[in-house]
Structure 1
């Protein structure tokens, strides 16, 4: 008798975690590998936030909390959403989870009936489709081309919606492309959604403050206030505040949804770490003078990586407006041969070639439902990024000039 449930046959391991694990295995063998596959800032958690966590321990704030999160944290989230996003929520419309990832999963698990559909613009974060499947739903993937800035267009959304559609997933700034939806973009999508009142919107805003140049962050519950009551706004402290390991995310939305999400979380994790919650109060409500410095450093790194990658034979890399990833096309290397005679047939082949030949770990675009691309995180030091990009340029130059017949 099989122990593994049948429905798990459709679920894939996270491609980002898998590539990072491969890199770690090579490092364990003594090989030098630069890991650019993980979406994790290399900055230390700011001192004021760390001190808040230490203070929580010293003050004995180490016991169970309410499933939805401690009141001071939900108050900080409420105030932040009003102050920065012009979104007004009551405390019982806010829930805190073990990272934004759990909040997204809780929402899907709480709302999807078997076979109901979730529209997911692609390229997309690797976990969205599998979380939908785990919750019993059906992901409906809509390809968004690079010529459209990797963003969902209203006409494509209209074609994707059916009577079974339950959610539209919107991630801006986007992982993996760095695409940022403007207020005008969101207003255009809202015009379609108004015609389909059964469709809810999950706005994943986790990279909210990591935008560059003339780009401006916008969220759909603010851009289209009439959709407020069918929007779940998700955010967290992992990326902007360099707190990936603290595992604190949050969601704000209609009370009937939040209540059921809390029921689900109460049967899984109960709540996120009490210590992390009190540190997150400081991250959200305390001094954030470090954020502009983080953003400026990320922008500098982005420009460096884009310039370097466009020197690599066969790669083309556009300039992203947000997050901390670039998503270059590797179409130009497909069909070329390695020195050993192996043909690079897919973006996965190319990612493995870079890992084995150049000692650089990247993630193939297929993991984000977009080929032929690779995702590179520039949340590493300038020195490490420079070395990695030079290795990628060298590895591309070693491929045969002629494509295999």
Structure 2
């Protein structure tokens, strides 16, 4: 059925319609607010292998996704079905993946919604890229813009990680700090549809005002007398050009650029151009005799294994080309036995729960890892891949369990390990 529309109630006449995603894809602000952490908040050793998003900037702007100029003359008012044309398509995206994969991306968008007090899409979806129909009850003659639109939400985020921080009295504490790296996001609110005339008074910076801009109300098209129906095609093209800026916008996808790290021949691994710490380390499960163990076969993954005479030095690692920024170690991990580097396979870089492997060493951020440490005196750490931003962890404590990447880490402490010298 049509809906009544009057100029005095323009803002109240906008209808909200369904989106491509399910209703559960919109995050109520209060649900995400309770889970937010802030820089400087206290964390625990169980949090070393986790991270949370930190919203740096946000921008909310009205966007028209579908539009049609439509003439209503005396005697032609009433309910009419108008086929609108696509003006712009908005896709939800977070970070370098270009879509939404993993808990970190969902939490990022939920945090955005909470900070702005808006219900935004938190799953991968997009507005329609096809012509859509709008049924509207036109009560007065005039020149109308029939539209569908939404509020486009964009911005940047960082990562909050748990790490040791030295306080003013010289003591150490674990706190949430802004970790390396950042990214961009795009999402949008519920889709609205409506019709607006040039003479209607509408709220500034609203979706209706954006649609009214497309009418180009001062033009000859808006003031000329026409038969009822759509704007003549030549004039409709002019309206479309006004919206070209929105049509040209694309979802922001972060492109990570691998940064080369300095290296020189200095130790036994010098043939690979890596400068490594003296000695070797084991990365293990706190309180358990299970350690990160490199595979014998390159195609296999890094697993938790007990340290035995059969494991040899497959469970020993060098920290190479190590640098430190604000208490966070960045290093390449080279296996003692194979002399290959720990890596997230490139083909699985965007995959939640991708298994870590070893590969020939290269100057590649997929082989660079951040190490977050507990207070001095404790050997507990969390490990994060530089390229993907994901935290390392495992599904359960078991011999043979793979080490995997998780975008937010593991919430139960199974991303916290020990780093001990051999």
**TM-score calculated relative to the size of structure 2:** 0.20
Give the structure with the larger helix fraction: 1
Structure of greater Rg: 2
Bigger RCO of structures 1 and 2 (CA < 8 A, at least 6 apart): 1
